[in-house]
Structure 1
């Protein structure tokens, strides 16, 4: 997992784990280090800001949600709901094709 962006609310840090992946070793082979893992299900890690260990983290599967940049986030319902506004590369495999075409 590589972290490109994250966001935070008053109570939580929100970490996207996307289908878009980075493998720097591909540069050695003359390929783009950015790729797409089609088998992976995108998810969001919701971590209390003052968590004492990883057991307080929650990972929520979010199929098709590949946020390139988070814009804003906030808590609702007394902190029981976290709202995230982000730019989504919904079809990550199409994003990869565009990047490959631009590198030619």
Structure 2
């Protein structure tokens, strides 16, 4: 199970980290080593966090298959809107049942 970290990093830091990894790739034995070095230099929790940023940057640039950040944001907004519409429909259904029952009662 994945947990959401409460620590958010600014987009500028992420972009800088991705650029630093690209710059360090030729100076290090492996890409993972470059990611670890960048994580240490920037005070990011782990190299895995930097790896995710690099992979997402590659997807956004079209160099790797996957869901872009823009697509993820659109999907997130659509899911939120869908949930709101479902809540509104549930309220309307409950109201229609209530008013239908009121109309079925004999008048006094």
The TM-score bracket by the shorter chain reads under 0.3
Q: Which one has the bigger strand percentage?
A: 1
Scaled by the length of structure 1, what TM-score is found? 0.25
Asked which structure has the greater RCO (Cα within 8 Å, sep 6+), the reply is 1
Q: Which one has the bigger helix percentage?
A: 2
